[in-house]
Chain A
Amino acid sequence: MSSQTSERVLRAATSRWRPIGARLDRSAGSVFILPAVLVILGFSIFPLLASLYVSLSRLSFSEGGVDLKFVGLDNYAKLIVGVDQTHFLGVVGPITPVSIAVLAAAYGLLALLLYRYITGPNRTAGGLVGRVVTVVIAGALLWLIANTILTSGRPGTLVVTIVYVGVDVAVQYLLGLGLALLVVQHLPGRRFFRVVFLLPMMITPVGVAYLFQMLTDTSKGPLYPLWARFGLTDVSWVTNPWGARLAVMIGDVWQWTPFIFIILLAAIETLPHELVEAAVVDGASRWNVFWRITFPQILPATTTVVLIRLIEGFKIIDLPNVLTNGGPGTATESLTLHAYTIWRALDIGGSAAVAYMLLLLVTFVSVTYVNLFRRRVAALT
């Protein structure tokens, strides 16, 4: 009797406790994740929102502290339509045949992409809206790029940054891929070269900038005999806008090609040999082996590494800052350097506004890139 009672009591107790236990089990995940969420909120989301507020205000010093005065969109207006417009957006020159041709081709491509999506099988309303927004923003950026670079105008920090990223990442990828393909061949000394190719990445960017400052100095420096031989000692290429930009881009390419090289090398080295051997047996040419077998298999690694370099590339500051201080004029000034020069004079609101414009640009480019390429590649594999 007593044992029966106690059993019943026990069963009743368990049945009463079971839902609580299950609930605890269910929420355990959230509880365990909470510290991480709090850390992210504290160190990532909060600063993001705080800097958004700073970008909408003006900082001044008062008796014993700092005053933040809310000024609305004034800091953004300065960049887009105000006193800093030519610095940020550049100067648009009168249209030229080249700028019209390039724009027409680019707009044609955008229209084609949009048309293919609309007539394609997978279209959704949300997808369409997203693509229209993308096409409009990309169209505006292309218009700005074409009318500041391909005319007598001049690019502002926004366009200069886009040029840096576009050229740098493309060249870095091609060089990195080429080097990786070379090093996987069974050539003598490949281990040695693998290490040598990695070295530039391990130097601090400021060191690279000083290195290139010496190399680009035609009137003295280690390459002086070379310049002297060609009679170029009276020509300084860092005082010419495109020469200076080129110097910055060469430095960046030199430093970051190894990053792409090492990732692609790892990807190529893990590929199974059987496919390549089978293709060779079937008489495929070297190009066909690369284009139809190797390249498709390293596409996932390619898209990831390019995405990382795109995001990193937008933040370029060390090279132009040390090499030219953003000069001649504002020719080599990137968005980060633009924000930095404003911040140095303690216009923290204006600086935050530039930083937010950069954030918007990086987000736009990354999201577009992921939508355009990564998803397709993921679907392929």
Chain B
Amino acid sequence: MSRHLAKALGLVVGVGLMAACASSSNTNSGQKFSGVTVRVVTFTGPQIAEPLQRRAPDFEKATGAKVQIITVPFSDLYQKVLTDFATKTNSYDATVFDPQWMGDYVPPGYLEDLTDRVKNDSTLQWDDIAPFFRDFSATFKGKVYTIPLDGDFQMVYYRKDLLQKDGLKAPETWQDYIDIARHFQGKDLNGDGKADYGSCLAMKRSAQSYWAWISIASAFLQSQGTKQGAFFDLNNMQPLTNNPGAAAALDVYKQLSKIGPPTQLNDDVGNSRGLFITGRCALSLDWGDIGTLAIDKTQSKVEDKVGAVILPGSKQVLDRSTGQLADCNATLCPYAVNGVNHAPFAAFGGWSGAINKASSAKVKDAAFAFLSYMSAPKQSGEDVTIGRTGFNPYRTSQFTNLDEWTKAGMSTQAANDYLGAIKSSLQSPNMVLDLRIPQSAYYQQTALDTALAQFLAGELNVNQTMNQITSQWNKKTDDLGRQAQLDSYKASLSVTK
């Protein structure tokens, strides 16, 4: 009996020793974050999640911190993380999310203030990040809460080879866009003998449709610079969704729904990008992703055939004093180019990393180090040139250093084109900032998105659509408090009066 006991004891001690040896050989005690686990939540991807997953092991090797990337479907991300933080479950230490949602995350105090950290971190090179992303995307009421990992603007892509051959110029207005799309609709654009499409947009419900519509509408709704805002009247928080400008944008959107693939109403960006880079579309409206996907040799059939321009504009804009559409002039459209008002839309604002305030100090340090590592020029400079990362340029060095782009397979001309379109959007004083007020997810993802889907499907006409969006937005504004929402909206536009 006692012999058995001694044997068992010996075994336990032996196994314990072995385990101790194993663990001590695994972790390097000299590393800064050995033994720390950081749980980062983002969306399923593969975009965005891919670079995080790919670089997490390198980060672990360098610092000892283990990074777990947890993914959830995009449409669940907002509420999943918010519910987790609000109910104090705190199963995530950091999130890579839409900075637009800060209006819901920051006021209740769920996110760590990163203002001092970003200033004191030399690897991050904070000043290299373009001012828009530093001062708007990452900042809420004067404090920094997120680290940008991605730069987001919507722009228009066109098939340079086709337009040149037919003597057409890149679209300057939405009417140009429609005309070019009509010109190519039904023609064979990639030489496979099948009829192709003039324009491919993501019009599926609960996907990216509403951003495309805002990209069109902003040209009609905002002409006096960023601080004018494109969503609400700054005097009374009345939505700008029931006027001739919004009607014109709906009309453009409806026309475009008919100049494209037959499945367009059920296509998300995955579909529209696939169609564009396989050469089946003459035009598309998208974030920076098509530019890098087009040079991906494994799937692209349009290498070096793609041009990019700033979002098309309009020669007529909404005159807020009369509530009518009026021709552009020097006072109405001070930033117009050739009489065309461009209002590039910073849709979404770029995927950004934020840290849960409730995590322990050590974990927060490690989480910050990881996000800083991801954003540092060395890593991000490479990631933004790879299509599948979903990351688009957002640092000054990424615009000036063409080497990374040519190394990735872009011709110098294409790189200049692509970066030029982003740069001209980024530098526009009439840029449209994405909506960042409490429950913006309801205003856009639910109310606007549903009404647009119903409009495209023919369930609602133009007036019914505008009425539905306006009444639902107003109801939500009243529920949450009109003055509070107006204050949030003004704060997001840095309007102090």
Contact = CB atoms under 8 A, between A and B. Distances in A.
Contacts of A82: 475
Nearest to A244: B266
A342 B446 contact: yes
A64 interface: yes
A288 B475 CA distance: 62
B451 to A, nearest CB: 9
Contact of A345 (B83, B442, B456, B458): B442
A280 to B, nearest CB: 53
Contacts of A234: 195, 262
B263 A341 contact: no
Contacts of B458: 329
Contacts of B86: 61, 65-66
Given A238-B266, A347-B442, A65 B108 contact: yes
A66 B78 contact: no
A328 B457 contact: yes
Contacts of A345: 78-79, 439, 441-442, 445-446
Contacts of B468: 83, 86
A51 interface: no
A325 B208 CA distance: 12
A61 B110 CA distance: 10
Contact of A239 (B108, B262, B438): B262
B107 interface: yes
Interface string B62-100: 000000000000011011001100111000000000000
A344 B445 contact: yes
A330 B457 CA distance: 9
A327 B262 contact: no
Interface residues of B, number: 45
A233 B459 CA distance: 24
A63 B108 contact: yes
B408 interface: no
Interface stretch (B8-16, B199-207, B424-432): B199-207
A83 B471 contact: yes
Contacts of B475: 78, 82-83
Nearest to A235: B262
Interface in B246-282: 261-266
Contacts of A325: 204-207
B450 interface: yes
B480 to A, nearest CB: 7
B81 to A, nearest CB: 11
B255 to A, nearest CB: 16
A342 B447 CA distance: 9
A233 to B, nearest CB: 8
B470 to A, nearest CB: 10
Contacts of B460: 329
Contacts of A83: 468, 471-472, 475
Contacts of A330: 450, 453-454, 459
B262 A341 contact: no
A64 B459 contact: no
A342 B442 CA distance: 8
Contact of A63 (B109, B438, B441): B109
Interface string A326-359: 1111110000000001111111000000000000
Given A83-B475, A345-B79, A324 B442 contact: no
Given A235-B262, A239-B457, A61 B108 contact: yes
B75 A329 contact: no
Interface string A2-35: 0000000000000000000000000000000000
B211 to A, nearest CB: 15
A87 interface: yes
A326 B446 contact: no
B263 A217 contact: yes
Contacts of A235: 262
B108 A62 contact: yes
Contacts of A297: none
Interface in A280-330: 324-330
A93 interface: no
A61 B107 contact: yes
A320 B392 CA distance: 32
A327 B76 CA distance: 18
B79 A326 contact: no
Contact of B450 (A87, A236, A347): A87
When A and B form their complex, which 4 residue pairs have the shortest distance between CB atoms, in order from nearest?
A: A329-B457, A328-B457, A327-B205, A329-B454
Given A63-B108, A326-B206, 14 more contacts: A60-B438, A83-B471, A236-B262, A238-B266, A327-B204, A327-B457, A328-B266, A328-B456, A329-B453, A329-B456, A330-B459, A341-B206, A344-B79, A344-B445
15 contacts: A61-B438, A64-B108, A65-B86, A219-B263, A234-B195, A234-B262, A238-B263, A241-B459, A328-B205, A328-B266, A329-B205, A329-B458, A342-B446, A345-B441, A346-B82
